[in-house]
Amino acid sequence: MGSKLTTSNHSSDIVGLKYVYPVLSRRAGGLSIGINFNTNNACNWRCIYCQVPHLTTGVAPALDFRLLEHELRSFLDNVLHGDFYDRFEVDADKRVIKDIAIAGDGEPTSLKEFAPAVELIGKIATEAGVFPQSDYVLITNGSLVHQARVQEGLRVLKRYGGEVWFKLDSATDEGRALYNNSGQSAKAGVENLIISAKLCPTKLQTCLFDLDNQGLPEKERLAYLDLLKSIKADVCLQRIMLYTLARPSLQPEAPRLEKLSAETMNAFADEIRRLGFDVSVSV
């Protein structure tokens, strides 16, 4: 028997593969098959709530396309036709592939061969009968969307019916520096969001948390709402996904972080809904 797969266990090596790993996703509501390009635990941001161990600054290493193809084909076969669900004690109502998500242990769009990798995954999943029934998701901080090679990957993703989950934890430069250790301005982030939404269906994903017992800071709340008002006419967002902490951070700021209450999360969601956006909340 394998370890029981739970929503609190997102280890990228749970099945012993280099690129492919299973997740029971709170937001997807079932089995999400993760694809990890950042096998070196390298990212261009360092979010203070990140659960990646030994996170380093950098980009994804060169991809072994042959190994990725072998792992994904074999894993999909085991899920669809083998004993995967039994070995990992997956509850009956979760025994469905909700999506294949390019995510992992760093910023996936930093992969030099990003577009060909998106194409390979789409081809394999289509041949296995997973697409188009299941979703194809890119989870990204959006910081590299202005680059032509990333935009080509988004076009490929759209061809396979995919969508982008674009991170926006703060609408202020100060918040982005504090929460994400990002030097990219809020303005540049919005410009990339606009590009993303034009190229591929895009959802915003926002992690809300309590830092130093401040709750949801008023400045951050108002800036976020103002940003949404300013882009509503130009950006077609499929949904705004609010979520809070589910697993302990492995960053130095971990002792300063707490979950936000469901009451605070839902109140903020209602404010966003009143602006005309579809909102989901995960607590």
In sequence order, what are the beta bridge partners of 157? Answer: none
Res 28: pLDDT = 58
> Could you report the per-residue pLDDT of 80-136, keeping only the tens digit for each?
999 999 999 988 888 999 999 999 899 999 999 999 999 999 999 999 999 999 999
The whole-angstrom distance between residue 99's C-alpha and the CA centroid of its chain comes to 12
Q: How far apart are CA 176 and CA 161, in angstroms?
A: 30
Quote the pTM value.
Answer: 0.94
Element (H, E) at 32: strand 30-36
Per-residue burial over 121-159, b if 16 or more Cβ lie within 10 Å, else e, is: bbebbeebebbeebbbbbbbbbbbbeeeebbbbbebbbe
What tokens were used for 21?
């790993």
- The distance between the two most distant Cα atoms of the chain, rounded to a whole number of Å, is 52
Q: How far apart are CA 151 and CA 146, in angstroms?
A: 7
Q: Cβ(202)–Cβ(166) under 8 Å?
A: yes
Q: Which domains does the chain have, with CATH numbers?
A: 20-282 (3.20.20.70)
> Could you report the per-residue pLDDT of 11-58, keeping only the tens digit for each?
556 788 999 999 987 655 689 999 999 999 999 999 999 999 999 999
Q: How far apart are CA 36 and CA 13, in angstroms?
A: 10
> Could you report the per-residue pLDDT of 152-207, keeping only the tens digit for each?
999 999 999 999 999 999 999 999 999 999 999 999 999 999 999 999 999 999 99
Look up residue 207 and give its amino acid: C
User: CA triplet 235, 185, 142: central angle to 5 degrees?
Assistant: 50
Residue 259 main-chain phi, psi, to 5 deg: -65, 150
User: Can you say whether the dihedral through the CA atoms of 10, 15, 17, 19 is positive or negative?
Assistant: negative
230: number of Cβ within 10 Å: 12
